Amino acid sequence: MENSWEASEIIKRAKQAMNFKNDSELADFLGISRATLSNWQSRRRIDYALLLGKLQNVDFNWLLTGKGCNQTMPPLYCNDEGADGKIQIIHKTKTVECKADRQVQLYDIEAAANLRTLLAHKHQFVVGNIAIPNIPSCDGAVYVSGDSMYPLLKSGDIIGFKEIGSFNNLIYGEIYLVSFMLDDDEYLSVKYINRSEKKGCIKLVSYNNHHDPLDIELSSINAMAIVKFSIRRHMMV
């Protein structure tokens, strides 16, 4: 595990984000004892659901990896026929490309069966449009399934994506939609992309530590898209 993912570093950034001077202030804010917070650091295991739930307006990428900036963002909301809920910006580009109001089409990835088919025939799989303020440019949005990125992403969340045209443009440490072949079966995953020790491969890494990292060959990848934002619905009505 890289140093940026060390529990002590994450806790340090959490205090920095909230302007807390010591661990006791952070523990009180989280509703846990000072001893519990110390155990998180000594055992290198954090209650991420609790921490991220309390720090919802903090850039999660910066909080967990130290990359990006620690700017605290006001919560954004989407309220549209296609989806509604709180928006978390996952990927922030260095260029200024946000618009005050941007339409994003929501697609049925299950009907398309794979990302390659969806990207090639988008108009066939549209299920709605989402109007979201101040988000980066996206090629569309789809629903998440599975628990490999829980609690950062959970099944039923919506993620906005931007197709990438070349493996030379990969940003390691970011979240991607990856469509790939493995043992003659096709898979679609939402994972962190890291460098692999194996030549000609990349490493797919889950946020949920119950899922092991997976090295896949670049030649087995059919399509990829970087994840730009997520929407989580907290109530069904």
pLDDT for the residue 195: 92
Q: Distance between CA atoms of 129 and 132, rounded to whole angstroms?
A: 10
| pLDDT digits 0-9 by tens, 74-125 | 555 555 555 566 656 655 544 444 454 568 899 999 888 889 899 889 889 9
The pTM (predicted TM-score) of the whole model is: 0.60
Q: Distance between CA atoms of 13 and 60, rounded to whole angstroms?
A: 10
Q: Distance between CA atoms of 163 and 224, rounded to whole angstroms?
A: 6
Q: Which residues pair with 230 in a beta bridge?
A: 88, 159
Extended beta strands in 23-125, E state: 76-79, 84-89, 102-107
CATH code of the region 3-65: 1.10.260
HSE (CB half, 13 Å, CA atoms) of 83?
A: 33
Residues of the chain with CATH 1.10.260: 3-65
Residues of the chain with CATH 2.10.109.10: 76-232
CATH code of the region 76-232: 2.10.109.10
